[in-house]
Structure 1
Amino acid sequence: MSLLKDPQFRLFWGAQTVSMVGTNMGRTAIPLVAATTLATTPFQMGLLNAAQTAAFLIVGLPAGVLVDRARRRPIMIVSDLLRAALLLLIGLGFFLDRMSFAALMVSTLFLGFATAFFEIAYQSYIPVLVGRERLVEGNARLESTSAVSRLLGPTLAGVLVTAGATVAVCVQAVGHLFSALQLSLIRTPEPVPDRSPGRRMGAEIKAGLRFVLSDPVFRAITGSAATYNFFYAMATPLVMLLLVDEIGLSGTVVGALMAVSGVGGVFGAAVAGRVATRFGPVRAMWAAYLVTIPTSLLIPLAGDGWATVLFAFPWFATSFGIVVYNVGQVTIRQTLCPPDLLGRMNASVRFLVWGILPVGSVAGGALGEWLGVRGALFVAAAGMSSGVLWLLCSRLRTMRDLPAPQEPRPTGATPASK
């Protein structure tokens, strides 16, 4: 039976969709509101953007431990309610003209904390909701809405901010309230986690990191994702400079070209399940990376007129490929990880994979000063392409389907060496 016929999954899918749209709205709306109403400096904008993504570095690993100690659905509900309350407070501050940059900064940081808990819990909850045998379909459905939210969220943010800061943040708050309501209606039973006394957070964090770094499959997946993210973060600020300064495109054309990424992601999510069924989830994952990501080497060659295709095609292809890759790698992680380690595993992977982003951005700016925009983009594209070597040099290269899941280990135990 298709998951679309499962009312419990539909509730979860609806909640995740609204929550992801709200999250991606906020990542655009809050900096935009700050720029238009608080007259922020470039340094302050940098701090504000850092506050949006710093949560996985600050609380990501402890969040994984706490997610493993509790049922995941209540954590998601509380996270949505906290985000709604914080956004309503921000909206009230703007309405009363009492919002300062410091208050917005602190509120944004706490929004990030709630988002970190939500995202770690939701990835750990999917196997409970759909069963491990339907993870590919479930992740493909969820990845499709993630791709749409990355396209729709910033667009809605731009429209709503023109109507006023209060309207923009209050609409996001309503979205998170709706998500919490949808989640509260789910009736799928969730096992009670181990709550034995004497469990130490430090030891449990170490167990999660050790599991990810010592297991060859998880190490290869995490290494490929971290490599891609580092060099993608290098490319991100350079791409805008390429389109605006080097090629001289108008803002309208730049916006249209940037939206191509969202279209590629939607297409990738639409076919990811069928590709995994046809070729096997493991083979589909690394093949999608190998075929699509190297097209990014064309981006530095882009120019005006017809040569914009040299940007548009790889921008579409890389987004398409990375979504297919994400469906595969998330499914592998959820399938092979023991249930009692899911929260810590997801938190450890996010800590390693997302924590590298700020470093990549700084490195990209420095390399752009040294080699120029196009030269630095060549380095970034080559680096993104090299991430597939982690997969090709592991046993994943010879596999079509997923290996057998591992047996659950006692909480906090060290995984067996391999």
Structure 2
Amino acid sequence: MTATAPVTAPPAPSSLWRHRDFMTLWTGQTLSETGSAVSTLAIPLIAVSVLNASTFSVSMLQAAGMAAYLVVALPAGVIVDRMRKRRLMVACNLIRAAAMGTIPLAFLAGELTMTQMWLVAALCGICSVFFEVAYQCYLPAVVRSDQLLDANGKLSTTYSVAQVAGIGLGGGLVAAFGAARTVLIDASSFVVSALSLLLIRRSEPEPTVPQGPRPRLRDDISAGLAFAFRHPVLRKIVAASATLNVFSQVIYALSVIYLVRVLRLTPAEVAVQLALGTAGGIAGGLASGRLARRIGTARIIWVSLLGLGWTMLLVPLAEPGWSVAFYTFGMTGFAALCAIYNAAQISYRQQMCPPELLGRLTAGVRWIVWGALPVGAVLGGVLGTWLGVRETLVVAAVGVWASGLWVYFSPLRHMRDFSPPRLEPITQS
């Protein structure tokens, strides 16, 4: 029998704008994030205006979704490493679509309850954890290693664009069709995202199966965390990300109070300020690839934090009147910082971690840095009550800037670029 040579994929285009598979992936995820932003507005409105839910019941909707990041993130990494990522992502999208679709159906049947809303939020939260871990592990199978930073930069714009477009779109749809029917947009977006994944031509490598008896779940989970904490750079990146999340959440927790009670803005003006702030994330995400090539793919990690983090000190300088612009410039700079930093540090993690461990590492890192968010929210409330809103914003702004010191005082300070990773051939499906 004559052996046939394996079929390899044609070289990936040098520009991601001409990379069919990446553009398909990016488009599907952008539409999905936009649909989720629509539901961010519609779901609480259903609870308040349709079900007359209490303040506690409405807050539990957010808690039900976020709890998944603390409860299932670590085992999710183990499962992602053992499975085909694209198959798992498609399944998560279809489950989320079905779950969200039950809300308008129950509403039309007159059977919608807060219990159902909580269950849907929890189920969608669990699927989101699995999807996001798999998503970061799947990207290296779609683009070349030297394209990862540019790809992550473009993907980081997705959230910012979705927040601007999705919330605005959601407001119009809720006014036209009602909040419950508007949730169908989110359900449909998950189906579109699943279809986009199925249209990607490149196949991913087979999951690595360990030789001998399969390790215990606890040992598999600890392997990802151990890799992060033993790595001289990754442990500093995790510390910087957690610190950034704590102090940024302090600012977010007090932003609306600051804008309304201190700067005396109207609700419409508050919405404009929040939308303008996300513009920095769009610009930063799109520019991250070019900036990294000019400054250095490793150096940009600490340069983004220390070079843009100071802009947050402008936020507490704002006063009623024209100097509200200080808040706008500060939050715009912060959004750009987050987009550039996240694209760079995620790309570093994807290149430095062995592929068979990437899911567990990603899940472990997300468990730590997302776990910092509720700490920041509580800290914002405590300090805001004790010190005052403006004074707390000063403390938080210094904390955001100082988070960059973790990575500055690390081996990254002496590196310009990542070490070239070992490239694996990508087979054509």
Q: Same fold (TM over 0.5)?
A: yes
* Candidates 264, 272, 289, aligned match of 1:273: 289
Instruction: Give matches, 1:42-191, under 5 Å.
Output: 42-162=55-175, 163-191=177-205
State the secondary structure of the residue aligned to 1:216.
coil
2:5 corresponds to which residue? none
State the secondary structure of the residue aligned to 2:416.
coil
Q: Which amino acid aligns with 1:95?
A: L
Q: Which stretch shows the higher mean deviation, 66-75 or 88-97?
A: 88-97
Task: Judge conservation of contact 1:300–1:378 (CA < 8 Å) in 2.
Answer: yes
Q: Which amino acid aligns with 2:160?
A: A
* Candidates 259, 264, 268, aligned match of 1:248: 264
Instruction: Note the alpha carbon deviations across 1:328-357, whole angstroms, 9 max, x for none.
Output: 111111111110011111111110001111
5+ unaligned residues in a row in structure 2: which ranges? Answer: 1-13, 425-429
Q: Which amino acid aligns with 2:347?
A: T
Q: Does 1:345 align with 2:364?
A: no
Instruction: Note the alpha carbon deviations across 1:102-153, whole angstroms, 9 max, x for none.
Output: 2101110111111111111011000111021211221122122232113222
Instruction: Note the alpha carbon deviations across 1:177-209, whole angstroms, 9 max, x for none.
Output: 011111112121211112344232111001011
Q: Which amino acid aligns with 1:180?
A: A
1:13 corresponds to which residue? 26
Q: Which amino acid aligns with 2:95?
A: L
* 1:404 positional shift: 4.5
C-alpha distance in 2, partners of 1:29/1:389? 40
Task: Judge conservation of contact 1:68–1:193 (CA < 8 Å) in 2.
Answer: yes
Task: Judge conservation of contact 1:63–1:347 (CA < 8 Å) in 2.
Answer: yes
* 1:29 positional shift: 2.5
Count of residues in Structure 1 that have an aligned counterpart in Structure 2: 408
2:252 corresponds to which residue? 236
* Candidates 219, 223, 227, aligned match of 1:207: 223
Q: Which amino acid aligns with 1:216?
A: P
Q: Percent identity?
A: 39
1:396 corresponds to which residue? 412
* 1:406 positional shift: 8.2
* 1:161 positional shift: 2.5
1:222 corresponds to which residue? 238
Provide runs of 4+ in structure 1 moved above 3 Å: 404-408
State the secondary structure of the residue aligned to 2:201.
coil
Task: Judge conservation of contact 1:29–1:154 (CA < 8 Å) in 2.
Answer: no
Task: Judge conservation of contact 2:145–2:423 (CA < 8 Å) in 1.
Answer: no
5+ unaligned residues in a row in structure 1: which ranges? Answer: 409-418
2:8 corresponds to which residue? none
2:346 corresponds to which residue? 330
Instruction: Note the alpha carbon deviations across 1:295-346, whole angstroms, 9 max, x for none.
Output: 1122112111111011111011111121111111111111111100111111
Q: Does 1:306 align with 2:322?
A: yes
2:7 corresponds to which residue? none
Task: Judge conservation of contact 1:21–1:150 (CA < 8 Å) in 2.
Answer: yes
State the secondary structure of the residue aligned to 2:204.
coil
C-alpha distance in 2, partners of 1:375/1:186? 50
Q: Does 1:192 align with 2:192?
A: no
Q: Which amino acid aligns with 2:303?
A: A
Task: Judge conservation of contact 2:38–2:185 (CA < 8 Å) in 1.
Answer: no
2:391 corresponds to which residue? 375
Q: Which stretch shows the higher mean deviation, 27-36 or 296-305?
A: 27-36
Q: Which stretch shows the higher mean deviation, 23-32 or 198-207?
A: 23-32
C-alpha distance in 2, partners of 1:147/1:258? 11
C-alpha distance in 1, partners of 2:42/2:129? 19
TM-score normalized with structure 1 length: 0.94
Q: Which amino acid aligns with 1:178?
A: V
Q: Which amino acid aligns with 2:269?
A: V
* 1:218 positional shift: 0.8
Instruction: Note the alpha carbon deviations across 1:217-253, whole angstroms, 9 max, x for none.
Output: 1111111111010111111121111110112111111
Task: Judge conservation of contact 1:121–1:343 (CA < 8 Å) in 2.
Answer: yes
C-alpha distance in 1, partners of 2:412/2:146? 19
Question: What is the root-mean-square deviation in Å for CA atoms of aligned residues?
Answer: 1.6
* 1:157 positional shift: 2.4
C-alpha distance in 1, partners of 2:152/2:356? 20
Task: Judge conservation of contact 2:311–2:333 (CA < 8 Å) in 1.
Answer: yes
* 1:73 positional shift: 0.3
